Amino acid sequence: MTSHKHAALIVVGHGSTTNPDSSEPTHRHADTIRRRGLFREVACCFWKEEPNMREVYEMVDSDVIYIVPNFISEGYFCQQVLPRELRLDGPTTQRDGKTIRYCDPVGIHPNMTRLLLQRADEVAPHVPREQTSLVIVGHGTSLNENSTKAIQDQVALIRAGHYGFAEVLDAYMEEAPFVKDWATLTTAPNVVVVPFFIADGLHSFQDIPVLLGMREEVGEALSESGVFHQNPHLLQGRSIYYSGAIGTESLMADVILDQVHDFDVKHGVQDTPGMANDEIKSSLAYWLNSGIDEIGEIAIITNTDGSYSLCHTADRGKDGLQVHHEAHDALYIARNDAAGTFRPLHSAPTLNRGWRLDLADLEELRLALDFFYPAAIGMARALEQEKLSAVPLRDLLGRQTGMYRFANNITDDQAHAMIGKTCANTKCLRRILWPLTATQPMAGAAASKTQPSHADNAIPLLCIEACTHVVSAARKVARENHEAKEKAAVG
Ligand code: SF4
C-alpha cells in the first residue's frame, strides 16, 4: 500500500443539527485511523455540523489531501453537494499548491459485504445461518436514488458468495419491497435485519422498529432507545434480530482506508512525499509563547513539563475538576450543554464547566482545540497570514440546491436583519468575515457581528461562511416572501 504519512485524510459525513448520533460514527472511524498513524493528519467535516466543507481545509496543512465521503451511496450528495462545497474539479483537484483526491463513498465498496456478515453474526450469535433470513434495509424513494442500488449490489454479492443464509433480501422504508411486509417476504424462523445507513438516528431507532412491528408507535427519545439490546424480538412466530446501522460497525474505518487504497490503484498514484509543514502547530506554539492563552470559553494552561491543560475559563485555578487525558475526550465534553442538550454550534457560549483536559504535547493540544472549536486555530492562522478568504452570503445562498434552492430570494435588508437575529439568538462567539456580496459589506443588525470582540489574550473565533442556521433562516424568510406574493396575487 502507498504510504500516506505525508498526506491528510478528510472524512466527510452528513451530520445533523438535532441528532448527536449522526456524526458520531464518522468521528469514531477517523479517530481509529488517526491512532494507527497512517496519515500525517486526519480530520472530519460535515454538511450539517462543524467544521463545514469550506472550513476543513484550514484544519490541515498537508500538500496532499484524500477525501473520503462517509456516505452509503453515490448520488446527489456525493456527486453534486460534496464536489460543489469542497470545490472539486473531479477525482483529482489541484488548488493553492495542494493535490486533493476525491475517493468513492464507503457504502459502495465491495468490502461492505464483510461488514454485513460480521454484523449479522454479532447480532445473532450462535443462530444457524441456514435457518436465518438476512434482510438489508434502506430508505428507498427519490431521497437517495442510488441507495437501493448499493443495497441490491450487497444482496447479490452475499447470495453469490454462498455464505449459508436461508435467504438474503433487500427491503425499504418507502418503496417496494417494503420493510413492513417482512413477515411475508421472509420464510426462515430467524430474521436478521440490518439497516444500511451510516449512522443511527430516527430511522433505525424509531421508524424501522415501528415498520417491523417491534414498536407500536414512534415516540422514544433519540439515543435512549434500547431497541438493539432486546434481541430476539418474538413476532408473528419468528425471532427478529435487529441491528444498529451498518455504518456504526468499527470495521468501517478499514473500508475508508480501502477507498483510499482503491483510489491510488485506479489513478496510478505514486507520490514522492515532500517535507511536512506543521505551520498550524507552529502558530499555536508562537501564540502560547506570546501570552495568548484563551480561545472562546477555553483557557489553555502551559505546564512546566511542556504538557498542556485545558479548562473552562471560569474554572481557571479551581480544584476538584473532573480530569480527562485524551484529546478525543474534547469531542464528548463539548457535545452537550449543562442541561444535556446537544450543541451543534460549538461557538455558542454554552460549554460545560467542571472539567480539565490534560494533554501530553502540542499535537494533542491542537487536536483537542479542533474538537472544541473546529478549524478555529487554522482559520486564525490563515487570517494572520492574510490567506483567509470568506464566502459572501449571496454566493453561499446562490449555490444552494434541493430544498434550500430559493434561500437567496431575500432582500438585502431581510438578509441583514436575519443574520443579526440568527447570530444574536445563538450568542455565537465567532466574528463574521463575510460580506453580503463581493462589493457590499454587511449593514444594519449584521454589521456589529463583523467587528472583533475577542480579548487581547484570546485566539479569535472566525466565521468564513454563514452556517447552516443562517441558511435555514434565509430559506424560511424566502418562503414567507413567496407565500406573501402568492397571497397578493390571489387577493
Ligand atoms: S453565521 Fe453567525 S451563528 Fe453561524 S457560525 Fe457564523 S457567526 Fe456563528
Q: What would the DSSP string read from start to end of 168-195?
A: EEEEESSSSSBGGGHHHH--SSEEEEEE
- Cα 196 off chain centre by: 17
DSSP state of 449: G
Distance 388 CA to ligand 1 centre (A): 17
Tens of pLDDT, residues 38-49: 999 999 999 999
Nearest Cα to Cα of residue 55 among 370, 407, 344, 322: 370
Give the per-residue pLDDT at 453.
85
Tens of pLDDT, residues 416-434: 999 999 999 999 999 999 9
Q: pLDDT category, 223, cuts 50, 70, 90? A: very low
Q: Which three cell numbers stand for residue 233?
A: 424480538
Tens of pLDDT, residues 454-486: 899 999 999 999 999 999 999 999 999 988 888
Distance 324 CA to ligand 1 centre (A): 29
pLDDT exceeds 60 at position 186: yes
Please give the domain boundaries of the chain with CATH numbers for all domains: 112-248 (3.40.50.1400), 293-376 (3.30.1360.190), 389-490 (3.30.70.2320)
Give the per-residue pLDDT at 1.
61
- Check pocket membership of 206 for ligand 1, CB cut-off 6 A: no
Give the per-residue pLDDT at 401.
85
- Check pocket membership of 428 for ligand 1, CB cut-off 6 A: yes
What's the rounded mean pLDDT across residues 127-153? Answer: 86
Distance 322 CA to ligand 1 centre (A): 30
DSSP state of 105: P
CB burial class (10 A; 0-12, 13-18, 19+) of residue 319?
A: exposed
DSSP state of 80: I
pLDDT exceeds 60 at position 144: no
Residue nearest to ligand 1 atom 5, measured at CA: 467
Q: pLDDT category, 206, cuts 50, 70, 90? A: confident
Tens of pLDDT, residues 347-397: 999 999 999 999 999 999 999 999 999 999 999 999 999 999 999 999 999
Give the per-residue pLDDT at 227.
65
- Check pocket membership of 390 for ligand 1, CB cut-off 6 A: no
Distance 439 CA to ligand 1 centre (A): 21
Tens of pLDDT, residues 72-123: 888 788 998 999 999 999 999 999 999 999 999 999 999 999 999 999 999 9
Q: In 3-state terms, what secondary structure has residue 37? A: coil
Give the per-residue pLDDT at 143.
54
CA distance linking residue 209 with residue 212, whole number of Å: 5
Strand order in 233-235's β-sheet? 167-172, 132-138, 190-195, 238-242, 233-235
Give the per-residue pLDDT at 100.
97
Q: Which three cell numbers stand for residue 314?
A: 471560569
Per-position DSSP letters for 211-263, written without gaps between them: HHTSSSSS-SPTT---GGGSPPEEETTEEEEE---GGGSTTHHHHHHHHHHHH
Instruction: Let me know: does 70 contact 142? Beta carbons within 8 Å.
Output: no
CA distance linking residue 136 with residue 169, whole number of Å: 6
The CA–CA distances, whole Å, from 254 to 7, 72, 158, 290, 421 equal 17, 15, 19, 42, 44
Q: pLDDT category, 292, cuts 50, 70, 90? A: very high
Look at 27-41, 60-74, 221-235, 374-388 and tell me which has the smallest mean pLDDT. 221-235
| Amino acid of residue 82 | L
Mutate to test the pocket of ligand 1, among 470, 471, 472 (most ligand atoms within 8 A of CB): 470
What whole-number percentage of the chain has pLDDT above 70? 95
Per-position DSSP letters for 292-350, written without gaps between them: --EETTEEEEE-TTS-EEEEEGGGTT-SSPEEE--TTHHHHHTTB-TTS-B-S-TTSS-
What's the rounded mean pLDDT across residues 278-295? Answer: 96
Greater confidence (276 vs 115) lies with: 115
Residue nearest to ligand 1 atom 3, measured at CA: 423
What's the rounded mean pLDDT across residues 398-403? Answer: 88
CA distance linking residue 278 with residue 347, whole number of Å: 25
- Check pocket membership of 463 for ligand 1, CB cut-off 6 A: yes
Q: In 3-state terms, what secondary structure has residue 51? A: coil
Tens of pLDDT, residues 332-355: 999 999 999 999 999 999 999 999
What's the rounded mean pLDDT across residues 214-223? Answer: 59
Distance 429 CA to ligand 1 centre (A): 8
Nearest Cα to Cα of residue 379 among 371, 390, 368, 395: 390
Q: Which atom of ligand 1 is nearest to the CA of 449?
A: 7
Looking up cell 475517493 gives 103
Phi-psi region of 135 (alpha: psi -120 to 50; beta: other; left: phi over 0): beta
Per-position DSSP letters for 63-76, written without gaps between them: SEEEEEE--SSSSI
What's the rounded mean pLDDT across residues 10-30? Answer: 93
DSSP lists the bridge partners of residue 356 as: 311, 323
pLDDT exceeds 60 at position 130: yes
Q: Which atom of ligand 1 is nearest to the CA of 463?
A: 6
What H or E segment, with its residue span, contains residue 39?
strand 39-46
CA distance linking residue 409 with residue 398, whole number of Å: 9
Distance 280 CA to ligand 1 centre (A): 23
pLDDT exceeds 50 at position 222: no
The CA–CA distances, whole Å, from 442 to 56, 265, 386, 417, 446 equal 24, 48, 20, 10, 6
Give the per-residue pLDDT at 489.
84
What's the rounded mean pLDDT across residues 164-181? Answer: 95
CA distance linking residue 95 with residue 465, whole number of Å: 19
DSSP lists the bridge partners of residue 372 as: none
- Check pocket membership of 450 for ligand 1, CB cut-off 6 A: no
Greater confidence (205 vs 81) lies with: 81
| Amino acid of residue 373 | Y
Mean pLDDT estimate for the chain: 92
Give the per-residue pLDDT at 221.
45
DSSP state of 373: S
- Check pocket membership of 430 for ligand 1, CB cut-off 6 A: yes
